[in-house]
Amino acid sequence: MKQSQLFTKTRKEAPKDEVSKNAELLIRAGFIHKEMAGVYSYLPLGLRVLKNIERIIREEMNALGGQEVLLTTLQNKESWQKTGRFDDAVIDNWFKTKLKNDTELGLANTHEEPLSALLTNFAKSFRDFPLYIYQIQTKFRNESRAKSGIMRGREFLMKDLYSFSRDQKEHDVFYEKAKNAYHKIFTRVGLGGQTYETFASGGSFAKYSHEFQTVTDAGEDIIYIDEKKRIAVNKEVLAPEVLKELGLEKKDLVEKKAVEVGNIFSLGTRFSLPLGLFYTDEKGEKKPVIIGSYGIGLGRLMGTVVEVLSDEKGIIWPESIAPFTVHLVSLLGDKVDVRTYADNLYLKLEKSGVSVLYDDRDLRPGEKFADSDLIGIPNRAIISERGMKDDKIEWKNRETGDIEMIDEKEFFRRVPRTVHV
Ligand code: ATP
Ligand code: MG
């Protein structure tokens, strides 16, 4: 893509009421637009990052045997009344609306109820299970504080997978596999080192749910980490009995602020019983299905990457989710041959499938470099009169700042050809 054609422009300042670093950088660099507090639109650069995150998550969910669906946001209240979750006193962040005939609807904040109810139409025998069903879909939550940029949206994309197993053992095996898939996802998006499997409250049928918490000062949670074991305990469940049960000792734990990037739950029969999701086993006996749910917020993950991987100049995207893997920057000066060479190089890159943003704008070098630092594409290739004299391209690493002068052959050896949007 040519930068001269990108409709977004970088900005010196973010909106005055924006207090989070992720939103400030993403708005200034032109990745997102703030519609209102907790409500953000994704612009071309931002959507590319989101799609890359989506691709990684989808690959890992498919590898788990997940079948993808897309459920509705508008929800009937009946299923939710059966499980006792329609009342605002039970879930306090519902957005609700009404049809013209006064029928009350909810804008789904999660999908245990509708999916379990839907499945009763299809799955009835032991032969129909286990099932792993997921979606990447918009959730609405009327969050009371929305000051964390895209890490806490009132409208946000969630990947939610639900597992439907025949018994607890079958559930437990899948739950462990899902945990591994989550670790893979957070590692692939560049947060492996900072993300901890964390014991938390919330499993209806297990003592704990497992959160995946990424250490950052922008986080709203407090966790206690055992660095050697690489696990943590959320403050909400921290108690002497819990530590004893988990084989942890207070003296080994370090307190950190963190953000919950993912959460997985063992729900047992909490939803299958009220919603009537049963199956008939080999002996003809009727049994309730054992359910698990597994969530990741895509925008929250993107915002967390920005919080963790950025410096005073801007964002530093990991290659796996960067909007482009190469930022080709031509310093035009007054030489026609610089432009011609850069134009040709851009065409060659596009042709060989490299994901490249080409800064072909007629701006001063300082402005182009500042924009490039802010946008944060991991590799920068600078075409200048100075380099061209020796047939060299300047190759700069955004993270380390290292610069090398390389020839075109070496350049083509280095450009990443990762699968990308
Ligand atoms: P929190 O405690 O931070 O409000 P939660 O525990 O209510 O989150 P879950 O219901 O567990 O969230 O949702 C599953 C995942 O969806 C979370 O782990 C998080 O990654 C994401 N998520 C939840 N709420 C939001 C939000 N308001 N904006 C963006 N992502 C969110
Ligand atoms: Mg949670």
Encode pLDDT of 175-226 as tens digits: 999 999 999 999 999 999 999 999 999 877 788 999 999 999 999 999 999 9
Encode pLDDT of 278-295 as tens digits: 999 999 999 999 999 999
CATH number of the structural domain spanning residue 14? 3.30.930.10
Residue nearest to atom 18 of ligand 1 (CA): 262
Tell me, in angstroms, the distance from the centre of ligand 2 to residue 211's CA: 7
Same-domain status, 182 and 301: yes
Give the binding-site residues of ligand 1, using a 6 Å CB cut-off. 110, 141, 143, 152-153, 156, 158, 260-263, 295-297, 299-300
Tell me, in angstroms, the distance from the centre of ligand 1 to residue 58's CA: 18
Tell me, in angstroms, the distance from the centre of ligand 2 to residue 210's CA: 9
Tell me, in angstroms, the distance from the centre of ligand 1 to residue 297's CA: 6
**261 CA closest ligand 1 atom index:** 20
Q: What pLDDT band is residue 382 in, cutting at 50, 70 and 90?
A: very high
Tell me, in angstroms, the distance from the centre of ligand 1 to residue 152's CA: 7
Same-domain status, 227 and 102: yes
Tell me what pLDDT residue 419 has: 66
Judge whether 70 lies within some domain.
yes
* pLDDT of 238 higher than 70: yes
> In this prediction, what percent of the chain has a pLDDT beyond 70?
98
Ligand 1, from 263, 296, 298: best to mutate by most atoms within 8 Å of Cβ?
263
Tell me, in angstroms, the distance from the centre of ligand 1 to residue 138's CA: 12
Judge whether 187 lies within some domain.
yes
Judge whether 408 lies within some domain.
yes
Ligand 1, from 179, 222, 237, 260: best to mutate by most atoms within 8 Å of Cβ?
260
Judge whether 26 lies within some domain.
yes
**158 CA closest ligand 1 atom index:** 16
Do 195 and 186 meet the contact criterion of CB atoms below 8 Å apart?
A: yes
Same-domain status, 97 and 67: yes
Axis crossing angle, helix 298-308 with helix 44-63, rounded to the nearest 10: 110
Same-domain status, 259 and 224: yes
Judge whether 242 lies within some domain.
yes
Domain that holds residue 289: 3-311
Counting ligands in written order, the one closest to the CA of 299 is 1
Same-domain status, 198 and 147: yes
Per residue, the 3-state secondary structure of the chain, as one string, reads: CEHHHCCCCCCCCCCCCCCCHHHHHHHHCCCEEEEECCEEEECHHHHHHHHHHHHHHHHHHHHCCCEECCCCCEEEHHHHHHCCCCCCCCCCCCEEEECCCCCEEEECCCCHHHHHHHHCCCCCEHHHCCEEEEEEEEEECCCCCCCCHHHCCCEEEEEEEEEEECCHHHHHHHHHHHHHHHHHHHHHCCCHHHEEEEEECCCCCCCCEEEEEEECCCCCEEEEEECCCCEEEEHHHCCHHHHHHHCCCHHHEEEEEEEEEEEEEEEECCCHHHHCCEEECCCCCEEECEEEEEEEEHHHHHHHHHHHCEECCEECCCCCCCCCCEEEEECCCCCHHHHHHHHHHHHHHHHCCCCEEEECCCCCHHHHHHHHHHHCCCEEEEECHHHHHCCCEEEEECCCCCEEEECHHHHHHHCCCCCCC
Tell me which of 287, 311, 335 is where a domain ends.
Answer: 311
Judge whether 420 lies within some domain.
no
Residue nearest to atom 25 of ligand 1 (CA): 152
Same-domain status, 341 and 307: no
Same-domain status, 152 and 258: yes
Same-domain status, 53 and 84: yes
Same-domain status, 329 and 215: no
Tell me, in angstroms, the distance from the centre of ligand 1 to residue 170's CA: 26
Tell me, in angstroms, the distance from the centre of ligand 2 to residue 355's CA: 34
Counting ligands in written order, the one closest to the CA of 296 is 1
CATH number of the structural domain spanning residue 387? 3.40.50.800
- Going by C-alpha positions, the residue among 163, 211, 150 that lies closest to residue 64 is 163
Same-domain status, 285 and 342: no
Same-domain status, 168 and 276: yes
Encode pLDDT of 42-91 as tens digits: 999 999 999 999 999 999 999 999 999 999 999 999 999 999 999 999 99
- In total, how many domains does the chain have? 2
* pLDDT of 125 higher than 80: yes
Q: What pLDDT band is residue 334 in, cutting at 50, 70 and 90?
A: low
Ligand 1, from 150, 266, 300: best to mutate by most atoms within 8 Å of Cβ?
300
